Structure 1
């Protein structure tokens, strides 16, 4: 099949006659409209736009045009091990990465994972992502992570972390500060990534001071069963370090008091529903966040386990919330007749919610004039799944998938065109990842490698069944 022509560098682009989800405050939906991107920004949105001479026209009819999606928490460095931990528990993840083999990663292995993850993200319509980079055991690992992100398509916020050393130690290294400054100059933003387990002496205080001195927001795994919970939130609050814009990842297994502290200090949440469901951080807390007025965003967490796209994140989030609603009702012999969480809201969390969580709502998250030209066209004329589009929000959440993402623009520049990544050397990326996988496997040895990927299965008790029948249906 011949490739579609592409716009020239710097050429204005208009997407014509699509269903446009603006994702503004009013959640405007245009049943048929155009989106004009010029000089890297959204220039106009509306039906039958007049465009400058020489504008490249894209047929968006039969498709959905929406803002680029935003992932607020992804351990990108682990992507070279995609699906390796598909049968892990959270304990097995901690043992593998934190206690045993995470230290095996070289700087180039961090870079390989970051590059692959970046390509994976933009290919699925994620135009902005947070690299929750907690495998940086040396500043050289951090520098490699930054280099990989700076050379990849998309916008990235670099969240510096190091699970192999205490945060009050690594934040005091001047070399770490230099990596952070370099990231600030080359990437879309920087955060500081570390957790607060709940030690009463609050040893994390120097790390919070470092973040404040550097002008950085903190992103932290809060409400993770058996790891971080109410004590950590209480200590952060009592020590005055919970600030507006700090990101609380998972935010499950928390009390109402903790949610109130997060809400009162202007905190935001990053839901990783596939992770919360699989790992047991706590039940995915969408309902709790809504009840306490805590702004929500969505995230992938890690593709060492989970799906790497926001379609899956939206689908599992709404599914988990609705399952809980029905389950609670059934305990009282009641029936839910009207669900609370709607598809429109989870699309909001995947776009506007991420922009607000990053403090960049003025730049990304909606298709409004003046904002960055980060645009996704969901259209697949070769698939029966893409017609009819009756409810566009419902179609995005429950019907479409990453394979239906036809066009992705970042700052008006095509990074996916006609269903394929463009301007990317996939063979070079594959070679880097192959080198990392080969190195890790040879370093650990085949036996350890296989054992890590195939943990033991606990014995399952099969209950005695009193309803036993003989052939022909005659009771025994």
Structure 2
């Protein structure tokens, strides 16, 4: 699928406008009584909301306003003055929060959503890695990314890292990038190919070309970094990945790595990075459930960060979510959803799963010693920060995103608190973590543009994403075959090897 074909498929999309944005295009849904005119360039003011800023200097403000002008939060407070032409969003009975950030999601797999609900990591490797990955075409990556971004924005996830591990060549990489760009959301394409060692593909010229042609600016909604499955094996001599790491450093690209996964690159990876000078503060280590304390200390000392995918780790078996241990080493944490083959792009679920896993293991360990946990260690405020500012920090965007702070970009989410599951509103953060659902997400703004309002995505982007994704799912089902398609949804009986 060529770039010309992709751009042709995206005809009707204003350049850079985003097909999910309310831009006043010919395809936008008609303005209703509940939908103000969100014309590009028009200021927006949220009125009378409970504002959970995520900024410790400002805190949580009841019955307060947030003024947005252009791409930026201009002011936060009560009874703010606003330009006469500002669009007004009524925040009464709602909570305004920073946009949530997912730091590890294999978006290319979204078109087979739910197929692997019964899987372990062994099933995943068997089906996806060993058999099916070659069935994806560039247009399937495009469709999957477009749908995955729509799902994220709908759920209040304003920034998503696409851990894109099936980029066989430049055509695939450009298709994945275009899907993210056309969504209108904020994203990070983590360029990867899990079917060859990184030093073979990072320096082939495709990454440099993509950076030059599509990601020459770091001040755009979709930006670039690298992703690969760890570094070296104990039996391998030397450090063969050195050229990939040197490329990343020379091109100012962050790296995200699957790390600390059971029986695969547990502590050796960190030792190799340390010994070769690539234990960098810009590295994100995903999972980290089977590392020793010495590895955690190395990450802490380096300034690196960890992405926890608790739903994935609890279900698939990479290793028990190490949130408490990571937190105890003062390592920055972000949250992620991993893949929609199993789970959703729902950061409310991710926050709950993280707390549930950490508190559950604390109780289990205490009970094993005939003791009782009196006060919980990990708190709701912690996981809320992981899902917002922690994610922004992990992507190197913490100075621009992650809190509702004047001067930061306006990535905002209005969550209804007048629903049966949220009334009465007693503690906003407690209830956001334990009671809120995606259905309570009323309004989503990305970079100052309203993408969802009144509980509905604006524009016709989702309808198009759905059509393309269903076509891709049909293609993959045909390639996989009906027998495997059925068998994969119902693997054999419980087994331990």
Of structures 1 and 2, the one scoring higher in RCO (CA 8 A, sep 6+) is 2
Contact 1:7 1:13 in 2 (8 A): no
Contact 1:158 1:183 in 2 (8 A): no
Q: Give me the TM-score of the superposition, normalised by structure 2.
A: 0.90
- Does structure 1 residue 18 correspond to structure 2 residue 54? no
> Paired residue for 2:98?
67
Q: Distance in 2 between matches of 1:459 and 1:231?
A: 29
Which of 438, 443, 447 is residue 407 of structure 1 equivalent to? 443
Q: CA shift at 1:449, angstroms?
A: 1.4
Pairing of 1:174-213 with structure 2 (within 5 A): 174-185=205-216, 187-196=221-230, 198-200=232-234, 201=237, 202-213=239-250
Please state whether the residue corresponding to 1:384 is helix, strand or coil. coil
- Does structure 1 residue 53 correspond to structure 2 residue 84? yes
- Does structure 1 residue 434 correspond to structure 2 residue 470? yes
Contact 1:82 1:305 in 2 (8 A): yes
Contact 1:119 1:153 in 2 (8 A): no
Which of 110, 115, 139 is residue 146 of structure 2 equivalent to? 115
Q: CA shift at 1:311, angstroms?
A: 0.4
Pairing of 1:320-331 with structure 2 (within 5 A): 320-331=357-368
**Change beyond 3 A, Cα 1:258–1:183:** farther
Q: CA shift at 1:459, angstroms?
A: 6.5
> Paired residue for 1:466?
none
Contact 1:90 1:280 in 2 (8 A): yes
Question: Whose radius of gyration is greater, 1 or 2?
Answer: 1
Q: Distance in 1 between matches of 2:404 and 2:129?
A: 41
Unaligned runs of 5+ in 2: 1-30
- Does structure 1 residue 172 correspond to structure 2 residue 208? no
Q: Distance in 2 between matches of 1:231 and 1:301?
A: 23
Q: Which deviations, in whole Å up to 9, do the C-alpha atoms of 1:170-218 show, x marking residues without a partner?
A: 1121123212333424643211100225424232212111111211111
- Does structure 1 residue 310 correspond to structure 2 residue 344? no
- Does structure 1 residue 421 correspond to structure 2 residue 457? yes
Please state whether the residue corresponding to 2:117 is helix, strand or coil. coil
Q: Distance in 2 between matches of 1:453 and 1:291?
A: 38
Contact 1:122 1:153 in 2 (8 A): no
> Paired residue for 2:111?
80
Q: Distance in 1 between matches of 2:213 and 2:317?
A: 36
Q: Which deviations, in whole Å up to 9, do the C-alpha atoms of 1:348-383 show, x marking residues without a partner?
A: 1111101111111111101111111111000164x3
Which of 430, 435, 455 is residue 394 of structure 1 equivalent to? 430
Q: Which moved more, 1:420-429 or 1:289-298?
A: 420-429
Q: Distance in 2 between matches of 1:210 and 1:175?
A: 12
Pairing of 1:39-438 with structure 2 (within 5 A): 39-185=70-216, 187-196=221-230, 198-200=232-234, 201=237, 202-379=239-416, 381=418, 383-438=419-474
Q: Distance in 2 between matches of 1:424 and 1:276?
A: 35
Contact 1:3 1:418 in 2 (8 A): no
Unaligned runs of 5+ in 1: 461-476
Q: CA shift at 1:20, angstroms?
A: 0.6
Q: Distance in 1 between matches of 2:285 and 2:495?
A: 36
Q: CA shift at 1:386, angstroms?
A: 2.4
Contact 2:35 2:454 in 1 (8 A): no
**Change beyond 3 A, Cα 1:398–1:330:** same
Q: Distance in 2 between matches of 1:104 and 1:2?
A: 43
Please state whether the residue corresponding to 2:356 is helix, strand or coil. helix
Q: Distance in 1 between matches of 2:186 and 2:378?
A: 29
